[in-house]
Structure formats: structure tokens, C-alpha cells
Amino acid sequence: MFAEKNMKIIVDCGSTKADWVVLDKNEIVLTFETEGFNPNYTDVKYISSIILNELAYKPYIQYITNVYFYGTGCGNAANCELLRQILKSIFIEAEVTVTHDIMAACHALFGRNEGIACILGTGSNSCYYDGNDIVDKAVSLGYIIGDEGSGCDIGKVLLRHYFYGKMPENISEKFENEYKPNIAAVIDNIYHKPQSSKYLATFSKFAYDNKDDDYVKNICVKCFD
């Protein structure tokens, strides 16, 4: 089924989900999705379990010669090496490359040309790419005080407005019917459980579903500004 010792895996990993593509030479033979993670906020054991649970004992593992992992939170050498070691424990004979997820956007958008790349999901970031390297990048302060315009950012505003009673009544009723938010559960998910940025970002779907409402539209505009 697989060409011997001539396969690659490319991974685009955000805080919420990770997309995996397996290539045999230049042909896509398999795609799948796993839970995402950010090594700045996610426990090492939890990251290992996500990867191992999906990949351990898969028949194509022995044929992989190159792994290209683009991940959120991989803007520093320590996190890159941490993930490289986890992946290397599975793909023992493969060459493993780990870099920031925004580089995936640069490669996909520009190839060897220059340009400005922006990424938006659970978090957000942007950079200038010269066709080879990222030569200038927005300051990334993470989901607590940064990531403006992201799903996490919009979700935080919606939750604040709901509990502070700042939502218009019709929107508040919709929000309550959809999420049934309980302050104790919200606090627990944000401050005591892993992947809090991912949890906060789930509420941004409400903004998308109600984007034509003036109140919701104003929240999104302010987050993007």
C-alpha cells in the first residue's frame, strides 16, 4: 500500500485542533484531525497522550522519512525541541522539523516569494516573510493579554458581557439557551483545567452565528481593531 521509506507527514497544529496530512512521495494518501495543543499552556504528558493515542502502532509509521510540524507556541527553541523529542519517539528513523504555525501560512501563501501572513483561530498572529525567513513578527503576548481578534479574545468578551449583564436581552437569552453558562463551571474551566484558551474560543461560534446583530458585530469590530 505504501512506498517503502519515502513518506512524509505535515502537521498544522493550533490550540484547538491539529490537521495531519500523510504523503506518499507527492501524493496525499491520508488526512486526519486530532485535538490541538499549545506547549506554552498544555502539560507535556497531555501533549504526548494526544499524539501517541492517534499515531502509536499505525502501519505507516515505519515508512515516514520526514515530519514537518508547524505548531502554535513553537516560537521558541525550547518548545520546538520538546515537540521534536515527542515526535522522534514515534518516528524513530524520520527527520523531524518543528517550527511556528505562522511559517506554515508563509509557505502555503507565498512559497519563495515575500509577503505579510496573518493567522487567526483560537489565537492570532501576523508576520513579514522575505521568501525564506520570517524577518519581522507581531509581538505575541498569548491569550491572557494578547491574541486580539482571535476566537479566544471574542469568547472572553462575550462571557464578560453576559455575566456583567451588558448583553441586550434578546442576545443574552440566546446565549443562555445555547450555553447555559454557570459561573462556577466557567471559573473551573478557565482556571483549573487544561486548554483554557480552547474552552474560551468555543464561545466565539456564538459571535459567528449572530454576526448580523449590531451588538455582536460591534464586539467583533472592537476585538479586531
pLDDT of residue 2: 52
Residue 55 confidence (pLDDT): 77
What pLDDT is recorded for position 3? 53
At residue 50, the pLDDT reads 86
Contacts of 47 (CB under 8 A, 6+ apart): 37, 39, 83, 86
For residue 4, what pLDDT is reported?
A: 59
pLDDT at 1: 52
Q: Identify the pLDDT of residue 57.
A: 66
Q: Which residues of the chain have pLDDT under 70?
A: 1-5, 56-57
For residue 13, which of 59, 53, 47, 45 has the smallest C-alpha distance? 47
Q: Per-residue pLDDT tens for 81-108?
A: 999 998 998 888 899 999 998 999 999 9
Q: Long-range contacts: 109-114, Cβ < 8 Å, 24+?
A: none
